[in-house]
Structure 1
Amino acid sequence: MPGITREEVAHLGRLSRLELKDEELDHFAEQLDAIIGAVARVSEVAGEDVPPTSHPLPLTNVMRPDQVRPSLTPEQALSSAPAQEQQRFKVPQILGED
């Protein structure tokens, strides 16, 4: 597999709107080549019989089920609000929308 060239790194830099120095082009070319090689090795290992996964171990939900419990009434919740309207907290408009 041919390595990534300085010109390709410079092109990526232009696309990213990054100004790269000459020594950075060489340095990034080596690093990108190593990354591409590592990805290629992973692709070789992943076989047809291995399903794609996002996590190596199964995930389980550790949250408890919802339980109805006593809570504040709307009047209690709004009792210290600086402004309220239609049983809701009234806040200043921030997006300039109606």
Structure 2
Amino acid sequence: MSIDESTAAKVASLARIRVEAEELPALAADFNRILGFIEQLGEVDIDGVEPMVSVTPMKLRLREDVVTDGGQPEKVLSNAPDAREGFFAVPKVVE
């Protein structure tokens, strides 16, 4: 995939970044270098490689999945500015 100047201008517009016309060739070249690097990463053979949690070797702490402090809906809802029928009530934001 190759990014031309018009595509770079559109990306800049979508990202709400002002890019002057004389800077567009350099921006398109940067995008092309980034995409080339991503394509190189796609060629790496990762068969048999375990997923990592961190770049430093560490184990995830596992714990039993149990409810430790529940069954208090009245207490939780007492903090709500508006609660109805056992739920938090919020203003409608989607018409």
Change (3 A) 1:41 1:20: same
CA positional deviation for 1:54: 4.6
CA positional deviation for 1:42: 1.4
Return the alpha-carbon distance in structure 2 between the equivalents of residues 54 and 8 of structure 1: 36
Query: Residue type of the partner of 1:9?
Result: A
Return the alpha-carbon distance in structure 1 between the equivalents of residues 20 and 10 of structure 2: 13
Q: TM-score, normalised by structure 2?
A: 0.52
Indicate the SS of the match to 1:45.
coil
The within-5 A match list for 1:38-49 is 38-49=37-48
Indicate the SS of the match to 2:43.
helix
Gaps of at least 5 residues in structure 1 are 61-96
CA positional deviation for 1:23: 2.1
**Bigger Rg, structure 1 or 2:** 1
Q: Which residue of 2 aligns with 1:37?
A: 36
Gaps of at least 5 residues in structure 2 are 60-80, 82-95
Q: Which residue of 1 aligns with 2:24?
A: 25
Q: Which residue of 2 aligns with 1:53?
A: 52
Q: TM-score, normalised by structure 1?
A: 0.50
Equivalenced residues, count: 61
